[in-house]
């Protein structure tokens, strides 16, 4: 398949190379031509502009820093829209704004061109090895048709839903990770300042309930099915634990901003009369504020988990 690839940076360079190694013909473009050296040496063809890439390829991928760069390449002068003809397909691998993606998708659709959002996760090492998640939003039939190309880039291409859904999934994933990162910095500084050696602390918590499972596993046990009774661990006990941790931070003059926010959340849930319910019941407060329920039928959830486990 003739594949165009625009953006040969830390992630894009490796993804494009793997695409070429997967048996596809590759046309490449980047602001820095030297970034394309390994691709050209391996048989790729250079194009001077995004428009030329779009003219030459059947399907085009972009891997760019963000919305501004994607808009410039997708819609700007000498951009892809000037070169893409009806029926061609464009995948944006960048971490992008869902609103920007949907606007570009609409403009492309008016020209008969198909767009899908397909942000990736796995970091530079994943891009090199192909151990990469690709979250795709857009037309399901097109996802299925071009999955062999996606599979040459990453080993976990997954269809999320309509246009923009891939970008939303990526932002949920990344934002969750950075919030957790900030929380860990807070609690570990408290633990070390309270007298625990850092390596011993790290090794200890990895053996606990949270350390032994993935970040999102607990969602399948409580929030997604809406199952908070009987409790695995009661809310009133969870509040007591967070209160104790905040107290240690106060004793050792460690700022505990996120812990205090969590304490306030758990306290509000206690005041709703939920103290004997599972501690995750406090998540219902955010559902109320957001005006949305995050629910999956237990049977559907069970089937999804069984499919993932093979």
Domain locations in the chain as residue ranges: 2-169, 216-309
Report how far residue 206's alpha carbon sits from residue 248's, in angstroms, rounded to the nearest whole number. 21
Structure confidence at residue 29 (pLDDT): 98
Residue 47 and residue 305: Cα distance in Å, rounded?
44
CATH number of the 216-309 domain: 1.10.1040.10
- Check residue 106 and give its pLDDT: 98
Peptide bond before 233: cis, by omega within 30 degrees of 0? no
Question: In 10 A of CB 210, how many CB atoms?
Answer: 10
Contact status, residue 61 vs residue 4, Cβ threshold 8 Å: yes
pLDDT for position 86: 96
Residue pLDDT, tens place only, 231-241 = 999 999 999 99
Q: How many CB atoms sit inside 10 A of residue 127's CB?
A: 25
The residues that are catalytic are 170
| Beta carbons of 24 and 34 less than 8 angstroms apart | no
Please tell me the predicted confidence (pLDDT) of residue 212.
87
The reply to whether omega before 230 is within 30° of 0 (cis) is: yes
Dist CA 274 CA 253 (whole Å): 31
Rounded CA gap, 306 and 172, in Å?
23
Give the pLDDT of residue 243: 97
Beta strands in 51-140 (DSSP E): 59-62, 89-92, 114-117, 120-121, 133-137
What tens-digit pLDDT sequence spans the chain (310 residues)?
Answer: 999 999 999 999 999 999 999 999 999 999 999 999 999 999 999 999 999 999 999 999 999 999 999 999 999 999 999 999 999 999 999 999 999 999 999 999 999 999 999 999 999 999 999 999 999 999 999 999 999 999 999 999 999 999 999 999 999 999 999 999 999 999 999 999 999 999 999 999 999 988 888 889 889 999 999 999 999 999 999 999 999 999 999 999 999 999 999 999 999 999 999 999 999 999 999 999 999 999 999 999 999 999 888 7
Quote the pLDDT of residue 214: 86
Name the superfamily (CATH) of residues 2-169: NAD(P)-binding Rossmann-like Domain (3.40.50.720)
- Going along the chain, which residue ranges are E strands? 2-6, 25-29, 45-46, 59-62, 89-92, 114-117, 120-121, 133-137, 156-161
Distance CA 24, CA 144 (A): 17
The pTM for the full model equals 0.93
């Amino acid at each position: 398949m003739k594949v165009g690839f625009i953006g040969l940076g830390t992630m894009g360079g490796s993804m494009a190379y793997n695409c070429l190694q997967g048996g596809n013909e590759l046309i490449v473009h980047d602001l820095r031509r030297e970034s394309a050296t390994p691709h050209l040496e391996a048989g790729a063809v250079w194009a001077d502009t995004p428009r030329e890439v779009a003219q030459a390829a059947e399907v085009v991928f972009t891997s760019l820093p963000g919305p501004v760069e994607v808009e410039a390449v997708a819609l700007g002068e000498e951009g892809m829209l000037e070169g893409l003809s009806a029926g061609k397909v464009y995948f944006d691998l960048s971490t992008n704004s869902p609103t920007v993606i949907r606007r570009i998708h609409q403009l492309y659709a008016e020209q008969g061109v198909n767009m899908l959002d397909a942000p990736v996760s796995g970091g530079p090492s994943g891009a090199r090895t192909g151990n990469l998640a690709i979250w795709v939003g857009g037309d399901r039939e097109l996802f299925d048709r071009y999955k062999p190309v996606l599979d040459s880039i990453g080993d976990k291409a997954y269809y999320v839903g309509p246009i923009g859904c891939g970008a939303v999934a990526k932002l949920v994933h990344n934002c969750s990770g950075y919030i957790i990162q900030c929380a860990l910095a807070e609690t570990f500084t408290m633990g070390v300042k309270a007298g625990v050696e850092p390596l011993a602390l790290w090794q200890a918590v990895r053996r606990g309930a949270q350390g032994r499972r993935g970040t999102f596993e607990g969602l399948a046990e409580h929030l997604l099915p809406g199952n908070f009774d009987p409790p695995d661990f009661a809310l009133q006990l969870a509040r007591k634990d967070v209160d104790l941790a905040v107290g240690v931070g106060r004793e050792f003059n460690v700022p505990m901003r996120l812990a205090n926010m969590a304490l306030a959340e758990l306290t509000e849930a206690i005041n709703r009369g939920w103290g004997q319910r599972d501690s995750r019941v406090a998540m219902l407060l955010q559902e109320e504020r957001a005006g949305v329920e995050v629910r999956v039928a237990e049977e559907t959830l069970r089937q999804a988990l069984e499919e993932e486990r093979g």
